[in-house]
């Protein structure tokens, strides 16, 4: 239940700490006194929109904090899931929302920063705020569905989650099937052309490095005579032929002579030994070079027919590269692989399509089965709720009321299920039930909504419910009956009701007054609990207005169930 509410720098509230009691509490006050401000602050704790305009002038931020005790096991489990600390021995949740002048909002649960979605998830399980404007929700299928789900499942969302998961799997399976069918159709439309292009590429039996190898061979064949002449000249120079050097002695022989001379000198000059060794190494290397160059010169071929074949092969490669806008053979081969896959998709498409079709059908069957269980559970809850709602509405001066939940199967489901829900209603004997939003008066809708909320709150053991002037359009006996309903709810749920009717206000176990206080510099809203004397005067004020008459006091005493008049003459 909501045990403490703290508000600072919010609208007309500078600072407020309000301790609340269990059971049925009423909140009254003049129009404009600040009751809507109180609800606005509470809406922040339920994840409502944050607006920096509500921050009092001069303040850096506004803070709204609520302490809620005796929380249920599912809330404790949710805290564990979100890694929020909570004392399981005495479970207590402190929800805080801060709004800075910049408009930035922060949310905390037990001093742990949380996302707004987490704040909403937790607060929805702890506090429900119902205003007269929510009466319009009776015409919305999502609201009716949520009410039935609370009656059918309470806080156990396993079947709801199972259907949502089955629906998601079905959607994904169908998407995969449709994407594959579209791919196959596209591939089939281009199959002949793709196959022709692939056959052109495959016919060449290309290798990734072939282009570079052929280009190097072409260059060698094109300049074969020049290469052979140059290598022969180099070999002759090393060999020392007269044609190449003008002399007849090889480089190797001259190095051998230099090596021997250096070796002779080493007898008298030690460092000359290293020169002799170095000259020996150079002579050996020159011999090797001569042999290599000579062999290379002998191996150079000038083959016009091979050159023609290489150039034809390269022309074929260049033609395909240009045709398919590829920079090299690697890109061309990758393109060929994509063509092969597209052609294979046609060949294997039917088999894969059949597999995906079976997968989609299995997912749809699972969704159907889970959806039927979900609908059956909702219909059972609806049937039970109809009887209970009619019984309570008959006490509200509607002895011939008819009320039923109508399930309409949708052509296509969504993640919530297969059915669209309507609440059908008839107030008079022999009347034909129609959508409640079309035929019920404002007072009738208010009564229907109250008994529905009462049923849900009692069934799900909702910790706290706040009613904001849902008594609009109701008076007299009906107002008194609404108060009785809230009293009954308060046996299992903390009920707070903002009301302008004395018949309801008198039935609360606790009474709080919202009023404006004028100071020398500003106007502020305050809320405080009333003692018995103050409460009597407040009820009398609600009955007669600013001037409290003796008749109003007597009436107030009767409403409060007092046997004699208090000392307030």
Look at the block and give the residue holding tokens 């500078």.
14
Cross-strand partners of 496: 25, 466
Q: Is residue 179 part of a domain?
A: no
CATH number at residue 101: 3.40.50.300
- Cα separation, 405 vs 452, whole angstroms: 12
Q: Are both 198 and 291 inside the same structural domain?
A: yes
- Cα separation, 489 vs 49, whole angstroms: 29
Q: Are both 513 and 568 inside the same structural domain?
A: no
User: What's the confidence (pLDDT) of residue 79?
Assistant: 55
- Cα separation, 342 vs 395, whole angstroms: 72
User: Which of the listed ranges 156-160, 223-227, 294-298 does the model predict with the highest average pLDDT?
Assistant: 156-160
Residue 90 confidence (pLDDT) above 90: no
Residue-wise pLDDT tens digits, 552-561? 889 999 888 8
Higher per-residue confidence, 451 vs 187 = 451
Considering only CA atoms, which of 108, 100, 97 is closest in space to residue 64? 97
Q: Are both 508 and 541 inside the same structural domain?
A: no
Q: Are both 322 and 200 inside the same structural domain?
A: yes
Q: Are both 216 and 122 inside the same structural domain?
A: no
Q: Is residue 479 part of a domain?
A: no
Q: Is residue 384 part of a domain?
A: no
Kindly report the average pLDDT of the chain as a whole number: 85
Which residues neighbour 523 within 8 Å (Cβ) at sequence distance 6 or greater? 12, 516, 517
User: What's the confidence (pLDDT) of residue 301?
Assistant: 72
Which of 306, 325, 340 is a domain's end point? 340
Q: Is residue 103 part of a domain?
A: yes
Q: Are both 249 and 323 inside the same structural domain?
A: yes
Q: Are both 204 and 114 inside the same structural domain?
A: no
- Cα separation, 153 vs 380, whole angstroms: 11
Residue-wise pLDDT tens digits, 484-532? 889 988 988 899 999 989 999 999 999 999 988 887 777 888 899 999 9
Q: What is the DSSP letter of 15?
A: E
Q: Is residue 303 part of a domain?
A: yes
Cross-strand partners of 8: 15, 63
Q: Are both 9 and 83 inside the same structural domain?
A: yes
Residue-wise pLDDT tens digits, 371-430? 999 999 999 999 999 999 999 899 888 899 999 999 999 989 999 999 999 999 999 888
Tokens representing residue 507 in the block: 């039935």
- Cα separation, 410 vs 406, whole angstroms: 12
- Cα 49 to chain centroid, rounded: 19
Range of the domain at 536: 531-569
Residue 317 confidence (pLDDT) above 60: yes
Q: Are both 220 and 324 inside the same structural domain?
A: yes
pLDDT confidence band for 81 (50 / 70 / 90): low
Q: Are both 212 and 328 inside the same structural domain?
A: yes
Q: Is residue 302 part of a domain?
A: yes
Q: Are both 334 and 214 inside the same structural domain?
A: yes
What is the number of domains present in the chain? Answer: 3
Q: Are both 258 and 301 inside the same structural domain?
A: yes
Residue-wise pLDDT tens digits, 32-41? 777 888 888 8
């Amino acid at each position: 239940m909501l045990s403490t509410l703290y508000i600072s720098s919010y609208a007309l509230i500078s600072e407020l700490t309000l301790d609340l009691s269990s059971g049925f509490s009423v909140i009254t006050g003049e129009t404009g006194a600040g009751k809507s401000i109180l609800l606005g602050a509470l809406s922040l704790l339920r994840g409502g929109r944050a607006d920096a305009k509500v921050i009092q002038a001069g303040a850096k931020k506004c803070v709204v904090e609520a302490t809620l005790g005796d929380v249920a096991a599912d809330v404790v489990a949710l805290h564990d899931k979100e890694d929020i600390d909570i004392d399981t021995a005495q479970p207590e949740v402190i929800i805080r929302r801060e709004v800075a002048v910049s408009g930035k909002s922060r949310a905390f649960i037990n001093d742990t920063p949380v996302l707004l979605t987490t704040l909403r998830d937790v607060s929805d399980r702890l506090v429900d705020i119902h205003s007269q404007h929510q009466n319009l929700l009776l015409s919305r299928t999502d609201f009716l569905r949520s009410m039935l789900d609370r009656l059918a499942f309470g806080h156990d969302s396993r079947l709801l989650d199972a259907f949502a998961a089955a629906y998601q799997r079905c959607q994904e399976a169908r998407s995969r099937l449709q994407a594959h069918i579209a791919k196959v159709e596209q591939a089939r439309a281009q199959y002949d052309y793709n196959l022709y292009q692939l056959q052109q590429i495959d016919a060449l039996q290309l290798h990734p490095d072939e282009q570079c190898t052929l280009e190097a061979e072409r260059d060698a064949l094109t300049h074969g005579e020049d290469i052979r002449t140059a290598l022969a000249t180099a070999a002759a120079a090393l060999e020392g032929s007269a044609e190449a050097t003008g002399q007849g002695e090889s480089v190797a022989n001259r190095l051998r002579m230099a090596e021997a001379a250096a070796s002779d000198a080493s007898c008298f000059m030690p460092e000359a030994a290293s020169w002799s060794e170095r000259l020996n190494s150079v002579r050996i290397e020159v011999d090797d070079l001569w042999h290599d160059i000579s062999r290379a010169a002998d191996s150079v071929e000038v083959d016009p027919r091979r050159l023609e074949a290489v150039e034809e092969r390269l022309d074929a490669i260049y033609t395909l590269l240009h045709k398919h806008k590829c920079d090299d053979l690697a890109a061309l081969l990758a393109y060929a692989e994509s063509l092969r896959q597209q052609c294979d998709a046609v060949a294997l498409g039917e088999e894969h399509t059949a597999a995906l079709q079976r997968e989609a059908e299995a997912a749809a069957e699972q969704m159907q089965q889970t959806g039927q269980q979900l609908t059956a559970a909702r219909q059972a809850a609806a049937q039970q709720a109809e009887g209970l709602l009619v019984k309570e509405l008959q006490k509200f001066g509607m002895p011939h009321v008819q009320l039923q939940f109508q399930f309409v199967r949708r052509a296509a489901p969504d993640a919530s299920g297969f059915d669209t829900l309507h609440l059908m209603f008839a107030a008079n004997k022999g009347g034909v039930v129609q959508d409640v939003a079309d035929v019920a008066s404002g007072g009738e809708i208010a009564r229907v909504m109250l008994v529905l909320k009462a049923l849900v709150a009692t069934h799900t053991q909702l910790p706290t419910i706040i009613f904001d002037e849902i008594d609009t359009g109701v008076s007299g006996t009906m107002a008194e009956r609404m108060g009785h309903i809230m009293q009954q709810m308060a046996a299992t749920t903390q009920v707070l009701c903002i009301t302008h009717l004395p018949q309801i206000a008198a039935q609360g176990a606790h009474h709080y007054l919202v009023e404006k206080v004028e100071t020398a510099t500003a106007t502020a809203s305050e809320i405080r609990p009333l003692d018995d004397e103050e409460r009597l005067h407040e009820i009398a004020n609600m009955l007669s207005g600013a001037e409290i008459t003796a008749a109003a006091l007597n009436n107030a005493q009767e409403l409060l169930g007092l046997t004699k008049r208090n000392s307030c003459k």
